[in-house]
Amino acid sequence: MVTFIAVLFAGALFAGFIGSLTGLGGGVIIVPLLTIGFGVDIRYAIGTSLISVIATSSGAASAYVKEGILNIRIGMFLEIATTLGAIAGAAIAFFAPTHAIAVIFGFVLLYSAVVSFQKRKENTDAENLPERKSGRMIELMKAKGTYPTANGLKKYTLQHLGGGFTVMTLAGILSGLLGIGSGALKVIAMDSIMKIPFKVSTSTSNFMIGVTAAASAGIYLNRGYIDPVLSMPVMVGVLIGSLVGAKFLIRSNTKSIRVVFAIVITLLAFEMIYNGLVKNI
């Protein structure tokens, strides 16, 4: 039992670090660790995963708020979409073949990995951008912000609110359906669609996945699929790992984070496709 908890804690540390660094949440590593490494039933693994996602969000988001890299205004607004999606996803889970959706999700992530390697000029300085006709919602939200860099504060402006809101709803549905934080889609929605700087996207994703996971975790708790013996070491390990990852993100460069992000979601894609094809999910 001591060895089991120690190995599980070490795996949770790594999961929290990667989850915080990429904005994916630690669940993408916790689920295969428990199911493949320890033979835990996938329903209990998903329940534990959701707890780890909440821990990752809590730990990383607190650090990002302190450093001024997180955009709470945008995160709170987009949480409306992800929370509604998570509730809908949990309802769909009662009758939808989740293994088929897992395969589709895997291919979406593979495409996302390719997109993340494509270079684009980040919208980091709103003053240097041509004037755009902003939607009323964007104006009301005052969707501008700054984030710290080695050269001082950089400005950015949110774009394509409707497209980002739609993808966030899909991310919430997948979270409720598959028991993951869906941080990959959240980062893609903010980074590629809404043109928010990558570091702000990953930090805001970490802030958001906790609320999304909590909406799904309530259903798993009600069904009895959250085991305290599994959840406790995972939660503590992921929390510590997420705090370390948050500090590392602030001092790292965007290019290296994109590479890590692409590698992680590619591995996640193959995991989802495989488990979907063999109907483990």
Q: What is residue 115's predicted lDDT score, i.e. its pLDDT?
A: 63
Check if the beta carbon of residue 117 is closer than 8 Å to that of residue 258: yes
Q: What are phi and psi of 156, to 5 degrees?
A: -150, 160
Q: Encode burial over 31-64: b for 16+ CB neighbours within 10 A, e otherwise.
A: bbbbbeeeebebbbbbbbbbbbbbbbbbbbbbbb
pTM confidence score: 0.69
SS3 245: helix
Domain boundaries, given as residue ranges, for the chain: 2-277
How much is the average pLDDT of 144-152?
70
Check if the beta carbon of residue 215 is closer than 8 Å to that of residue 83: yes
CB neighbour list of residue 114: distance below 8 Å, 6 or more residues apart: none
Q: What are phi and psi of 236, to 5 degrees?
A: -65, -45
Look at residues 56, 2, 64, 68 and name the one whose alpha carbon lies nearest to residue 29.
56
% of the chain residues with pLDDT over 90? 0
> CA-CA distance, 274 to 12, in Å (whole number)?
22
| Confidence grade of residue 128 (pLDDT, cut at 50, 70, 90) | very low
Which 8-state DSSP code applies to residue 130?
P
CB neighbour list of residue 240: distance below 8 Å, 6 or more residues apart: 13, 16, 59
Q: Alpha-carbon dihedral of residues 212, 217, 219, 223, nearest 10 degrees? A: 160
Alpha-carbon distances, residue 55 vs 26, 87, 179 (angstroms):
9, 20, 15
Specify the length of the chain in residues: 281
Which 8-state DSSP code applies to residue 124?
-
Neighbours of 158 (CB within 10 A): 26
How much is the average pLDDT of 26-50?
78
pLDDT tens readout for residues 52-68: 778 777 766 776 777 77
Q: What is residue 170's predicted lDDT score, i.e. its pLDDT?
A: 87
Q: What is residue 138's predicted lDDT score, i.e. its pLDDT?
A: 58
